[in-house]
Structure 1
Amino acid sequence: MKVLILGAGAVGGYFGARLAEAGKDVTFLVRERRREQLRERGLRVQSVHGDIHLQEPQLIVAGEETGTYDVILLSNKAYHLSDSMESIAPYVGENTMILPLLNGIAHMEQLWERFGRERVLGGLCFIETTLNSDGDVVQTSQTHEAVFGEWSGGESERIHLLKETFAGTKATIRTSADIQRDMWQKYLFITTLSGITTLMNSAVGPIREAVYGLELTRQLSEESASVMRKIGAPIDTDIVDKQMKIFMNQGYGMKASMLRDMEKGLEVEADHLQGYLIQKADQLGVAVPLLKVVYNNLKVYELKRAADK
């Protein structure tokens, strides 16, 4: 199968490199500046699971005519989704599968509207990656997992074929028969983790040690989960307890990617993650006071970032 990866950043660059390393037919759709960088340096991955150096990765820039692809993997930030959809549109054929690995849920409706429900799979990933100053992918977590499946559940013939295509890589790429549940529960975790670390401007270790750190983390998770339950999201009844255990087991210096982005002065996904849940909470009459504090903190950051520009 022909695989197109949108971008060659921290997430797409990592999983795309792992696929290419395993001999899969992988092309990266990148901006011109990134293409020149990759042509000069190659795509390099520094990983706890073994380094990769693709000297001549297959690269295209949006608009180049290469035909359609069997699967297009999206790993962009939510605030780039509109541009990303326009970039991949020429490469979407009748049977193309679009696999988004974005955080949250709101992007699914936009992808369905643009490309049709039948083309869009559910997907998510668990990984800690970033780009260094040379444009290399730096991957630091023991977990490097991507999950995908039919939004309606079960395992279809095309999911089976895609599973075979992704087999044999050094990353964990697996299917899920209940991808909606997996995506909502990942959404809950990342909303809580990004919210508490950005609010406290801290990695998880000091938050756990502070006098009210765990209490506030649980409150944020409970508020977010209460909105999801009101929506009818398929989350486990004991999901907050489960995710607090995960939070307790995170490395002392672990930071949400949103906090790392703030430290670099980059855009954040406040509207896509916390903002989406607050919008639903207001519509449904669910009280989320701490979630609104988190969101307001992120919006203040955005205002200051815009003023600095």
Structure 2
Amino acid sequence: MRILVLGAGAIGGYYGLHLAEAGAELGFLVRERRAAQLRQDGLVVASRGEERRRSVPTLLAGGIDRPFDLILLTCKAYDLDAAIEAVAPAVGPETAVLPLLNGIAHLDRLDARFGADRVLGGAAYIATTLGADGIVRHASPGDLMLFGRRDGEAPWQVEALAGLFARTPVTARASGTILQDMWEKWCMLAAGAALTCLLRGTVGEIMATEAGRSIAEAMIAECRAIAAAHGHAPRPEAAAQAQRMLTDPASRWAASMARDLEAGAPRLESEAILGDLIRRGAAAGIAAPLLAAAHSQLQVHGARPAAA
């Protein structure tokens, strides 16, 4: 199977390297600076105490001359429009597009451009970063990826991708309920991002405060209520996992958006993760005042001249 990976960054680099090792025919669509880095050093992933290095083929914008079987889309939500234009030449009549973006707003935009029948759903539970040295570092204990067609069918690309991942150490599997999976991840991530961005701390630090647990539980409840109003209430296992993760007094976890906020990053995914969820809640008559407070804080950050 021929797979085009958009970028060779934290997510695309991690999963792309493992797919290449499994025998997939890959191309990495990257900018010139990253292409030069990959030509010199190869694609390097540090994970679970070991470093994997592999020479990989790269493509630059305008260099795609034929369709791919699958496109792995791993950009940030705010870069989606540019990503769509970049990968469009690789989309043929039989191409499937697998986005690993947060939230679900990207589905409408991809459907409008490429057609809903070829846009898969995907969710990745993983913490990775791309260092200035070009190394992708895997920081979380897990690397779960779920993917599938939203109508529950299993096109050949989904089966082939599952087969490739089965030959790797990655925990990845096809799902017949991918939209539900995506909502469950969204609920967990939105509550966690709202909590750690608004209160500017890790989960453990927040749990040590007088009202930390009650605030976390209220944010989780707001997310669940919105999901339920749209027919996607988190299933018991997912709800329990989110509760444990976001109320663990020993946890050093903070959402990547909170880390970006602390670092003064000029752009954040607040609209895709919080703004869209809040608006969907409002449309269903569900108020989410704590999520709205966190979102407003992030809007203030984004409006400051230094963040422009």
* TM-score normalised to structure 2 length: 0.94
Unaligned runs of 5+ in 1: none
Structure 1 segment 227-266 matched on structure 2, within 5 A: 227-236=226-235, 240-248=239-247, 252-266=251-265
> Residue 283 of structure 1 aligns with which residue?
283
Alignment RMSD: 1.8
1:10 aligns to 2:30 (yes or no): no
> Residue 150 of structure 1 aligns with which residue?
149
Cα deviation per residue 1:60-88 (whole Å; 9 max; x = unaligned)?
01110331111100111000000000000
Structure 1 segment 1-309 matched on structure 2, within 5 A: 1-48=1-48, 50-54=50-54, 56-236=55-235, 240-248=239-247, 252-266=251-265, 267-304=267-304, 306-307=305-306, 309=308
1:180 and 1:234 in contact (8 A); partners too: no
Return closer, same or farther for 1:157/1:24 CA change in 2, 3 Å cut-off. closer
SS at match of 1:66: coil
1:21 and 1:52 in contact (8 A); partners too: no
Structure that is richer in strand per residue:
1
Separation in 2 of the partners of 1:269 and 1:47? Answer: 25
Cα deviation per residue 1:200-232 (whole Å; 9 max; x = unaligned)?
111111112211111111111111221222222
Measure how far apart 1:276 and its partner are. 0.4
Separation in 2 of the partners of 1:301 and 1:200? Answer: 14
1:10 and 1:131 in contact (8 A); partners too: yes
Measure how far apart 1:265 and its partner are. 2.4
Measure how far apart 1:234 and its partner are. 4.9
Unaligned runs of 5+ in 2: none
Return closer, same or farther for 1:308/1:143 CA change in 2, 3 Å cut-off. closer
Q: Between the two proteins, what is the percent identity of the paired residues?
A: 37
- In structure 1, what residue type is equivalent to 2:213? L
List structure 1 segments (4+ residues) > 6 angstroms apart after TM superposition: none
SS at match of 1:117: coil
Separation in 1 of the partners of 2:139 and 2:250? Answer: 11
1:222 and 1:240 in contact (8 A); partners too: no
1:3 and 1:73 in contact (8 A); partners too: yes
Q: Greater CA deviation, 150-159 or 127-136? A: 150-159
- In structure 2, what residue type is equivalent to 1:64? G
Measure how far apart 1:285 and its partner are. 2.3
Cα deviation per residue 1:168-221 (whole Å; 9 max; x = unaligned)?
012112111111111100000010111111111111111122111111111111
Separation in 2 of the partners of 1:246 and 1:151? Answer: 27
Return closer, same or farther for 1:251/1:182 CA change in 2, 3 Å cut-off. farther
SS at match of 1:69: coil
* TM-score normalised to structure 1 length: 0.93
- In structure 2, what residue type is equivalent to 1:8? A
1:154 and 1:178 in contact (8 A); partners too: no
Separation in 1 of the partners of 2:250 and 2:181? Answer: 23
Return closer, same or farther for 1:249/1:26 CA change in 2, 3 Å cut-off. farther
Matched residues, number = 307
Return closer, same or farther for 1:293/1:28 CA change in 2, 3 Å cut-off. same
Return closer, same or farther for 1:193/1:250 CA change in 2, 3 Å cut-off. farther
SS at match of 1:130: strand
Separation in 1 of the partners of 2:202 and 2:111? Answer: 36
SS at match of 1:119: coil
- In structure 2, what residue type is equivalent to 1:10? A
Measure how far apart 1:235 and its partner are. 3.0
Measure how far apart 1:244 and its partner are. 0.5
Return closer, same or farther for 1:171/1:270 CA change in 2, 3 Å cut-off. same
